Amino acid sequence: LDNLVVVYTTFLACPRQYLISVHRVSTNPVLSLRPFAVPERRPASSYASVAGAEPRITMSEISDDYVNISSETDLHLSVYMEKLGRHRRLGSPSSDGPSSAGSSGQQTTTTTEKAPTHTFPQSLPDWSNLKVLHRGTLPPRSYFFLYNNEEDALTRDTSKSKSKLLSGKWKFHLTRSPFHEPRDFYKTDFDTSGWDDIVVPGMWQCQGYGKGPQYTNLNFPWPVDAPNIPYDDNECGRHVTTFQVGDDFADHQLRLRFEGVDSAFTVWVNGNEVGYSQGARNPSEFDVTDYVKIGQDNILAVEVYQRCDGTYLEDQDQWWLSGIFRDVYLHAFPKFHPVDYHVHTLLDDDYKDATLKVDIEMDRGAYVDMKLLDADGKLIAKDMKIFDRHNSFDIRVKNPHKWTAETPYLYTLVLNFKKCSLVQRVGFRRTELIKGVFSINGEPVKFRGVNRHEHNPDSGRAVPYEFLKRDLLLMKHFNVNGIRTSHYINDPRLYDLADELGIWILDEADLECHGFGVLGNRGEDWATDNPDWREAYEDRARQMVQRDKNHASVVLWSLGNESFYGSNHQHMYDVIKSIDKSRLVHYEGDGGARTADIYSRMYASAEEIVNTASERNWSKPLVLCEYIHAMGNGPGGIKEYIEAFYKYPRLMGGFVWEWANHGLRTKTEDGEEYMGYGGDFGDEPNDYNFVFDGLCFAEHTPTPGLVEYGKAIEPVQTLDIKDNEVTIINRYDFVSLDHLTATWHIVADGMVIGGDQEVAIPKGIKPHTKAHLKIKGLPKNLTAEAYLHIDFALAKDTNWAKAGHRVAFGQLPLSKPPSMAAILSSLSHPFVDPVPHITQSSPSLLSITSSTGLSTWGLDLQLGTISSWRKASRPHLELLTEPFVMDFYRALTDNDRGGRFGQNWQDRRLDQTRHSVKRVEWRKEKHGLVVNVHSRIAPPVLAWAVDTWTTFTFHGEAIYIKIKGKPNGPLLPDTFARIGLTLGVKGVEKVAWWGRGPGESYRDKKESQAFGNWEQTVDDLFVDYEFPQDGGNRTDVRWVEFRGQLSDEEGVVDGDKPLERLIRARFGDLDGASFSAMHYTTKDLDECKHPYELHKRKREDTVVRLDWAHHGLGTGSCGPATLPQYELKTGEFDFELVLD
């Protein structure tokens, strides 16, 4: 019994699949467990067995659910099979059956007597069998629809096509394992009326089924035993729908097509098994002609497996979700139909004339009529041929319009067959390397791209078309010109939109096995460099190219992502080139570009790529397939990359990681909505909020990071001004600026001078070249700080934006801001005594009243700072809810946490500093009351400190603050997060300022924010990140004014009165001065993990931060941390500020 228990425990704990056999040898039953289908590359574990001797053990029952063994002495063992499958008789024991009787050393006696053997599973499941990728599927083909005639085909309306969309509400049932009942659900007499409804396309976790969504970045969330998948932990979603087709589908080949099913599935039609397929994001197509009944109800049953052996190759950084998540169609292909076709646009070496080559594969010989129409429907060329099963059209086209992301001109190819027609939009373009430079149509191209996962906050990877379209339109609005389909081929409709709108596509195969890298051995040995997996890798490359080969927008193929590098990548490359030699092949894991046609890097710093680009001896270009990680508040330091891209021809540009946060909408127990991340659904293991790393929030609305990126990659850059001539540069790759208009105005401190005036843009400015704009009527002798502001906008409507949409802007300084000395000079009034009245209200409090009596301040001698501020108009009302405090800390951003800086700040307890006063002295001078405070600011536990010498000068209605600091001591932080004052202010409703705005800005994230006169509410200033962190800062601010209405003695506010100034802060001409105003403390932001937690802590007063200097953001969450030039290095400082 002891040995039996050991064996049973081993069975439960081990991730490997085991064969359970019970057979009779002579009079003694034997229960044995042995490894089943162990890969050749993995050592096989020894089997164990138990055999009865004395007293004799007999087998009392064998059923579908249990193996029951009992003895004469009441020994009883019940091995529960969890309804994992049916048993079958094999006739005789397996040759590698039991060889010992456990620890007793007793040997089993064998005879020639045949005994019944019962085995689970009956056979290796397709979904855990590396040798089965597909059963019953048709060869992959291009994405196209057939129509009855040319007229219908030209509408491109799929509802008019020879197909039936089967998406909609299906019946659904979920079990924990594919072996759980009801396994006969596909039978035509099976009653599904008691099942739930589920939406197809859809992910069942997003519709409330199963264990819920799970997020990991790279770890496999199950015991790794590739290629095997656990039998008892593999959710199985059974889907059933009913459909009818009419007589127009009779005498056709009927093709059942699934555009995407995660992760694998088996299909039945009217009780007949049609086949099996895997490759979650690849299409699968089955010939169901023999099974579909015309004019009658047809039952389609689909069994979807959460995991399969292919899931080891689908370890992308995203949610683990399951289901039929793309559309399902039944296509009707008549006799004499195209099986597939391949469009080639072959430009000559002058990139002028072209040959249109169309390779067509037919189901049988037939005539084919071909037409080429321009964008207006005008006939450009036509031909007709009698085809064998394979043939081609070759047509010369004189100087066609060239397709680029900037000029997405599409022709329409019409193919008419005997009983059907199809259309394919065609863009003429050519991709190649020219002297090591990536070029399209002979011109160098820069990718200003993004990585895009398929995501919707409500439906996961089942993305509605309008949501998808909105994504691409938003990209165009923010100057994005490229998409890397990370890390799988996307919804086929995306490529149609990219052709139409003009977006370059780096098309990536559905491949990532990053999780093999944490198993303690060479990650590539598991699959990438393992011959057993060759067919699986090749299949994913083949599926990608065959489906997307006819899209002009697809300019690069990619062999996948983060899958190490091995022989199977070379096999993928060979498969791709056997189909399509016209495009280059990318793969970042091939660091030396041994297989790939280009170099690729992730998260290299700007300095690194400049060093690489400066080397002379390299023949391939370099792309950053992932860079400027956009997690949380950031990214910082974008412009350094963009400048490098344009300076060095062999730098191709890059793709930001990533487009959008992957939050999934969920609710608290109280019913409050929020966007969930890893761990919010009880998922373990998880990678927490690393799924929030996009340029868009989870609703796919812009973050401040997208605004900044859109500015950095703008197609027109304003460089400088000399006299009245402005220098600009055209950053387009193919077009001039003739499609744009330019207007200018002057924005100055406190005013806008004149309205928008148009300025002529010189005609025909070539790409990547400079030009000059002549500004007429520039004002002279400006006394306030002022900037020339120029906007560049679309002159005409496009298919992605209306005329007037701004694509770029620039600002150039015309005059300087006033110095602090000038501000101080302005405080003096010849008829007003600047010296206030002072009394010592208590041993620890100075009460200071301005000479006019309009303002009263309290200075706490123990704290060494201002703790009270009252106005004569409301003497009962205290403006300050928190005293002025010198502060060096900010709530951590994701980039702070991910990089070394945040850890250093917390290790050095920068967030726990305390103030202790050394000495306070005060005296009256002719220009006001002067209070000098010597303090020490230091954290607990440690011995480092900042000695400060603060001078408060009370002059009229103003306070001039000058502070000097000297950090010292062991374990001093390397950097500070900020240097500034924090205070609490009551009654703030709006904030006005002169400086950069209107949005958030930081030291290394400010190019998108223009100098201007801005005003916002406190709530509008705050950026409510989906994972709470510091935000809402405004930098390069000269002054900021906090406005509100003062209540009367009863606390009543007169809403009809205009807002009045509560407090104003002036920084003079200091560069980099910042402010923020919000209803939360840094502690609130650091401690709360979701917005709903933060909102419960919202204060009525306003936490104001006035900063002289701020540490940059960087991209340390996954990539380079804050660049040295943007660090706030610890050192002595000397700053000043005027408050009134």
The set of catalytic residues is 562, 626
Alpha-carbon distance of 729 to 659, in angstroms, equals 27
Tokens of 1130: 């610890």
Alpha-carbon distance of 477 to 715, in angstroms, equals 12
Kindly tell me the burial class for residue 682, based on how many C-beta atoms sit within 10 Å of its own C-beta (0-12, 13-18, 19 or more).
Answer: exposed
Q: Specify the amino acid at residue 329.
A: Y
Paired strand residues for 626: 602
Q: Could you tell me if 427 and 403 are in contact, meaning their C-beta atoms sit under 8 angstroms apart?
A: yes
Alpha-carbon distance of 1098 to 929, in angstroms, equals 37
E-state strands within 902-989: 914-925, 928-938, 945-955, 958-968, 978-985
Q: Could you tell me if 850 and 842 are in contact, meaning their C-beta atoms sit under 8 angstroms apart?
A: no
CB 995: neighbour CB atoms within 10 A? Answer: 26
Strand arrangement of the beta sheet that strand 725-730 belongs to: 716-722, 725-730, 770-774
| SS3 per residue for 367-421 | EEEEEEECCCCCEEEEEEEEECCEEEEEEEECCCCECCCCCCCCEEEEEECCCCE
- The CA–CA distances, whole Å, from 395 to 81, 301, 384, 398, 549 equal 66, 46, 11, 10, 19
Instruction: Characterize the bridge pairing of strands 1010-1017 and 990-997.
Output: antiparallel
- 492-501 and 465-477 helices, crossing angle to 10°: 30
Q: Specify the amino acid at residue 275.
A: G
- The residues, any chain, with a CB within 8 Å of residue 1140's CB and separated by 6 or more, are 956, 957, 958, 959, 1063, 1064, 1066
Kindly tell me the burial class for residue 741, based on how many C-beta atoms sit within 10 Å of its own C-beta (0-12, 13-18, 19 or more).
Answer: middle
Cis peptide before 55 (omega within 30 of 0): yes
CA proximity to 502, closest of 541, 475, 468:
475
Sign of CA pseudo-dihedral 225, 229, 231, 235: positive
Alpha-carbon distance of 617 to 611, in angstroms, equals 12
Instruction: Tell how many helices (H) and how many strands (E) occur in the chain.
Output: 16, 68
Q: Could you tell me if 805 and 792 are in contact, meaning their C-beta atoms sit under 8 angstroms apart?
A: no
What's the longest Cα–Cα distance across the chain? 123
